[in-house]
Structures are given as C-alpha cells and as structure tokens.
Structure 1
Amino acid sequence: MNQITSIITSSAMSILVVLTGIVVQAIKKYLLMRGGKKAIEIVEILAKNAVNATEQVADKLDIHGKDKLEHAKTSLIEGLESQNIHLTNQELNTFIEAAVKKANDEWKK
C-alpha cells in the first residue's frame, strides 16, 4: 500500500513539474509578444519625433538629403538607446522612411 502511495505521489509531482514548465513557457511567450508590440510602438514614435526634429533644424544646420537621413538616424538611435532597444541599420532606415512618408502624406492633406 505504501508503495502505491509513493508511486502515485511521485507521478503527481512529475506531472505538476511538467505542467509548471508549460505554463512558464506560455507566460514567457506572451510577455515577449506583448513587449515586442510595445517596442515597435516606441520605435514608431521615436522615428516620427526624429524626422520632425530633423525637419525643424535642417535649415539652421544647412543639411539636405542623405545628411538629413543621417541626422534623423542619429536622433533615433539616441532615443532607442535610452529605451534599451537595438535595431539593425536596415530596420532604422525602414522606420525613418515610414515616418517621412507619413509626414509627407499628412502635409499633402
């Protein structure tokens, strides 16, 4: 009888450990997904701010074309570093180009 109780107890503990591992993985995946969405929203806001700020100081700094892109990219990188977000150069360009397009579309309206 004691052996059966021992087997049942150890089996129940094993099942609980497996279930706990599954729940932890699900929670971790959910939090990463949620944090990823938040990070994208932060990047979009910072890219918009970097583009707008660059447009405002472009005449004073006498920068045009690629220099404006580099200035906006530098501003965006500084903002992202303060939020502990790191992107590739291509991703930075993509977010800046999207912010420029959105600003141009709003200006045309």
Structure 2
Amino acid sequence: MKKYLTDEPSCPVDYAFRRIGGKYKGRILWYLHVKTIMRYGELRKTLSDITPKMLTQTLRELEDDNLVIRKVYHEVPPKVEYSLTEVGQQLIPFIDYLRIWGNEQIEKQKAKQTV
C-alpha cells in the first residue's frame, strides 16, 4: 500500500516553509535579528497578538529547528533569553527581502486607495 501522507518535505521550499512558515516565526526571527537578544517578556510585548502558549510553542519549534538559542539563567525570578543561531542568521537576508517586498506592496495599496 502506498503512503500518501508523510512528514518528509516534498521539496526544499516545503522544508524551508515548515521551519519559518506560520504567523509568528518570521517575525520572531526578524525581531531577534534587530535586537540580537530578547527575553521572553520582551518578545511577548513585541508580538502583542500572540498568546503566551503560542509564543512558547513557536519558540520551542524554532529551537528544535536550530534557528533560535534559548539560554536559561538559574536565578530568581527565572530569566530566559533568546537569540539566533548561525543557521537562523542565514535566513535574515531572505526575511529582509520579504520585508522590503511587503513594504512595497503596502505602499502600492495605499497609493491605490488615495486615488
């Protein structure tokens, strides 16, 4: 019997989007690039539309995919910092290109609305 559903990526683009796709991953990677190191609370404030549960889940996925480093300081209160790995840094030029493209599209849309 042939198996049609698989966890294996169907192509390199599928592989990449499984790592950075979704509503929050690209934004988290970008903010970590801009700020270099961010604590959980900073990320929570920056991504005001994310629930704590979803932020934690997304950060774990990014860590599992070797895109983000999670550094825990054993102190009271607990302190956790996030930063990009070398692999995560390699994605920044592509995310920056998406940022530029998105900005151009927003500007075009605004220009259409003012006409």
- TM-score > 0.5, shorter chain as reference: no
Structure ID, larger Rg:
1
The structure whose residues are more often helix, as a share, is 1
The structure whose residues are more often strand, as a share, is 2
User: Structure 2 length normalisation: TM-score?
Assistant: 0.35
User: Structure 1 length normalisation: TM-score?
Assistant: 0.36
